[in-house]
Structure 1
Amino acid sequence: MISPERLDAMQGQWVRLVAAFGVAPADAYPPFDRLVAAYTAPDRHYHTLEHLGEMFRVAGRLAAHTRDPLAVQLAIWFHDAVYDPRAKDSEARSAALAADELTALGVPPATVEAVQRLVTATAHLLGDAPPADPDAAVVIDADLAILGAADARYRRYAADVRREYAFVPDADYRTGRAAVLRRFLARPRIYHHDVLFEEGEARARENLTAELRELGT
């Protein structure tokens, strides 16, 4: 549950962000409200406004590596706007939603297209090679920063993801989740940027390995 103060701060952040494109506050509030409704839906446990806040903090630390900071910020807002654990196209649907909402606000097509590319990148299907787009590397690292979190935060994250997949039987969940964790562990490095690699790579691998043990697979 996000505090009213934090929600007000996020609203201000959103209004200032879209103001860069000439969007008046009165026009900025409706899409913000729709985003909040999406991220606070009752079936959301990890993919929430807290997750967005954590991503914004990481992206801020990587600002020097960012080519289009406005597109990065917009992509973070929209990257999990659609989150359906029963489907495999949430990122594509989130990108489409971003295009609809941002186009309606009058955001330039080039920015809209950049946001769509960045949102789609959070499907984490790029494999081992770092993305050619430096902004995609920032968004991906911000999205995966949770893997290198302290033990208590990582455990809460893992438990919240399980809650989002409550409809999946335990045995099936353990198998599917273990496959995801092993794919990350098989990468030469999880984080593209050196600052996250140095601070979180070892911890992320410890967290993933510990969760694998607990899954018993």
Structure 2
Amino acid sequence: MALDLQTRYSEPQRHYHTLQHISHMLHGYESCGASSGAIELAIWFHDCVYDPVRGGPWNERESIRVWERFVQSTGSDIMKELKSPVSTLIEATISHCIPEVIPDHLDASQVAIFLDLDMRILAESSEIYSKYSQDIREEYSHFPAEVYRAGRVKVLEQFLSRERIFLGPGTEDMEQRARTNIREEIERLV
């Protein structure tokens, strides 16, 4: 598993969605003091398929397929119990919202932790955020500058239109930093 995932996260089209992103999430997860096999596995598998040309929910759905094939290949009862929770967590990254139906072995607070970890980069220092935005641009370098700018601004404005970007408790400071970073990126793009 690890070698295959390492290979996937090292593919040449990746600039942000790399092992560094996984490491960043794992570090944040360790810092929050939570403990969930489903979250740890979802961190590893949530972006294991990443094709910026196809984009959209295709990547998440394909990542779920890879995860579910992996579960099948193990034959492990423990992994079978985690199949649905991990798939639900990965699927939640499509909308970055808590799903209405949450399977056994998972609760809304765990979904919030996972989604906040995935969005954590938005609340980093302006230098780290700037590097992140450059890496995202590299991943979408197949788009001409004007097309990229319009699409990126639209995505960023969708973040700002949300009542909350971060869903867990105690994330108010992160919320404000993320909104500042996003507004500054929009100003650079327009």
TM-score for the superposition, normalised by structure 2: 0.89
Pairing of 1:105-184 with structure 2 (within 5 A): 105-108=74-77, 109-126=80-97, 133-184=108-159
Structure-2 residue corresponding to 1:185: 160
Aligned partner letter, 2:46:
H
Indicate whether 1:41 and 2:11 are aligned: yes
Structure 1 consecutive aligned stretches of length 4 or more whose deviation exceeds 4 Å: none
Indicate whether 1:208 and 2:182 are aligned: yes
Pairing of 1:25-104 with structure 2 (within 5 A): 31-64=1-34, 69-87=36-54, 88=56, 89-104=58-73
8 Å Cα contact 2:25-2:118 kept in structure 1? yes
| Structural RMSD (CA) | 1.8
- CA deviations on 1:173-217 (whole Å, 9 max, x unpaired) are 01111111011101111111233x23311110010000000111x
- CA deviations on 1:52-84 (whole Å, 9 max, x unpaired) are 0111122223344x6xx0011000000000011
- Structure 1 residue runs without a partner (length 5+): 1-30
- Structure 2 residue runs without a partner (length 5+): none
User: SS at the partner of 2:95?
Assistant: coil
- CA deviations on 1:110-165 (whole Å, 9 max, x unpaired) are 211111111111112538x9x86222111100000000000110000000000000
8 Å Cα contact 1:74-1:115 kept in structure 2? yes
User: How many pairs align?
Assistant: 180
Measure, in 2, the Cα distance between the counterparts of 1:184 and 1:42: 28
User: SS at the partner of 1:194?
Assistant: coil
TM-score for the superposition, normalised by structure 1: 0.78
Measure, in 2, the Cα distance between the counterparts of 1:42 and 1:86: 13
